[in-house]
Amino acid sequence: MAKINISPLGFFERYLSVWVALSIALGVGLGHFMPSLFQTIAGLEFANVNFVVAVLIWVMIYPMMVSVDFTNFKEVAKKPKPFAISFVITWLIMPFSMTALGILFLQHIFAPFIAEADAKQYIAGLILLGGAPCTAMVFVWSRLVSGNANYTLAQVSLNDVIMIFAYAPIVAFLLGVAEISVPWNTLILSILLYVLIPMLGGYFTRKKLSAPKLDSLLLHLKPYSIIGLLATVVLLFAFQANVLLEKPTAIAMVAVPIILQSFLMFGLAYWWMRKARIPHNIAAPAAFISGSNFFELAVAVAISLFGLNSGAAFATVVGVLVEVPAMLWLVSIANKTKHYFDANS
């Protein structure tokens, strides 16, 4: 069995929300004072794919895909129950609950404060978030709760494979329910560009390199993944600088359904795992997968489908801002309630 080395939260990961907040401020400032620069960047695109953003997204996603080890699928085969629970919540509940929360808050509760067209765009971004289970940061949350690293990796790897086939149909269906039309060819192209190609790149990288060289490569790539994320945040908020300055409360309103979704899905998965007598070192990481999102993919798809200046892209970036503090809170809860699982073992 391959052993997985997952480092704990580093300086940048631990304060990711701070860096995202600073990137938001920088992006808004640059966008307000240098609008022509970002108009030029926005024009560098082909087939709804912005070249600058595409490069930054690949910089984010490729290191994650290099971490995926498909040989660990046997871990799921040995203990299928945790994955079955996680699968039901992640693919059959999570996308629909996020859509429902988005519609409830953005089209009803917050309706007096949000234009109808903006609300639809924000909901589209939430749908893109809700349909993509966490791929990268869950490794960090797993380490912080002393999770089973190999089983966590096996679950993430299997979810990545499912995502290739399930993400586009689920997202297209839910966008249709929310009366938001999207071009199928652009949606499929986004999956190919931001899931399949990086996954194949990661697979062949793992196959070619020895274990020591692979660990060295991942350590080298790690900072670039965060830099790519923060640079993307700067761009997105620069493109929407004037809108944000006019509507600063939009971030808080979009954040509400995202935070509720994280706590509800984590809580459901965590409770179900305990009832099923799943060990805590498997149950907690599996619950984190259900409670968090692959926001890098959601950002990329939102940009491809709706554009850099869209409310959908904005909503996915709000997901980046709120996820880390929310998940660190859930890590604390998981560690404090571990004894409930020990009592059942």
Of 299, 305, 308, 292, which is closest to residue 258 (Cα–Cα)? 292
CATH number of the domain residue 42 falls in: 1.20.1530.20
Residue 161 within any structural domain of the chain: yes
**pLDDT single digits (tens) 260-281:** 999 999 999 999 999 999 999 9
Residue 160 within any structural domain of the chain: yes
**pLDDT single digits (tens) 169-214:** 999 999 998 888 877 888 888 888 888 888 888 889 988 888 888 8
Expressed as residue numbers, the domain containing 248 is 28-344
Residue 62 within any structural domain of the chain: yes
**pLDDT single digits (tens) 277-315:** 999 999 999 999 989 888 878 888 888 888 877 889 889
**pLDDT single digits (tens) 209-226:** 888 888 888 778 777 777
**pLDDT single digits (tens) 312-342:** 988 988 887 788 789 889 999 999 999 888 7
Q: Are strands 45-46 and 49-50 parallel, antiparallel or unpaired?
A: antiparallel
State the Cα–Cα distance between residues 103 and 317, nearest whole angstrom.
18
Query: How many domains would you assign to the chain?
Result: 1
Write the CA distances from 47 to 50, 189, 295, integer angstroms. 8, 9, 22
- The pLDDT assigned to 256 comes to 96
Residue 140 within any structural domain of the chain: yes
- The pLDDT assigned to 3 comes to 43
Residue 193 within any structural domain of the chain: yes
Residue 174 within any structural domain of the chain: yes
Geometric angle at alpha carbon 217, from 211 and 144, rounded to 5°: 80
Residue 275 within any structural domain of the chain: yes
Q: What share of the chain is helix, strand, coil (3-state, %, to 5)?
A: 80, 0, 15
* Half-sphere exposure of residue 79: CA atoms within 13 angstroms, side-chain side: 21
Residue 5 within any structural domain of the chain: no
